[in-house]
């Protein structure tokens, strides 16, 4: 194994992670497996990378920034969707709390 191989692998894993997080349906199982592999690659790295590892590390860092932005966007969209659900619940509760008008027909079940 060359000294650059683990750094290139980190960049490749970041590319795969980005591809996973931009898909419409997030595959949590695949993402989890990828993150476990990334953790094992990182754990095996020396404390100080060689200078020639700078390009793949820079690529991995840039990809990680995009991943973070994509995930932040997904979180914001999820929060917005949950807010709409809560708004719908409040609206439904508001209708449910209304008493029937006096003399309104009530069907016996």
Of 16-20, 70-74, 96-100, the range with the lowest mean pLDDT is 96-100
* Statement: residue 16 has pLDDT above 90: yes
Could you report how far apart the first and last alpha carbons of the chain are, in Å? 76
Confirm whether 105 is domain-assigned: no
Confirm whether 108 is domain-assigned: no
* Statement: residue 12 has pLDDT above 70: yes
Nearest residue to 8 (alpha-carbon basis) of 41, 47, 43, 44: 41
* Statement: residue 107 has pLDDT above 70: no
Confirm whether 53 is domain-assigned: yes
Rounded to two decimals, the pTM is 0.73
Query: What pLDDT score does 35 carry?
Result: 96
Confirm whether 45 is domain-assigned: yes
Confirm whether 31 is domain-assigned: yes
Domain enclosing residue 86, as ranges: 5-96
The total number of structural domains in the chain stands at: 1
């Amino acid at each position: 194994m060359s000294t650059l191989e683990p750094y290139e692998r980190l960049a490749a894993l970041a590319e795969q992670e980005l591809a996973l997080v931009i898909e419409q349906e997030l595959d949590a199982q695949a993402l989890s497996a990828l993150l476990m592999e990334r953790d094992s690659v990182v754990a095996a790295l020396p404390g100080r990378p060689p200078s020639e590892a700078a390009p793949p590390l820079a690529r991995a860092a840039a990809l990680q920034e995009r991943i973070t932005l994509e995930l932040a966007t997904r979180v914001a969209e999820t929060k917005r969707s949950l807010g709409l659900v809560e708004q719908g619940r409040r609206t439904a509760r508001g209708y449910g709390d209304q008493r029937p008008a006096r003399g309104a027909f009530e069907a016996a079940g």
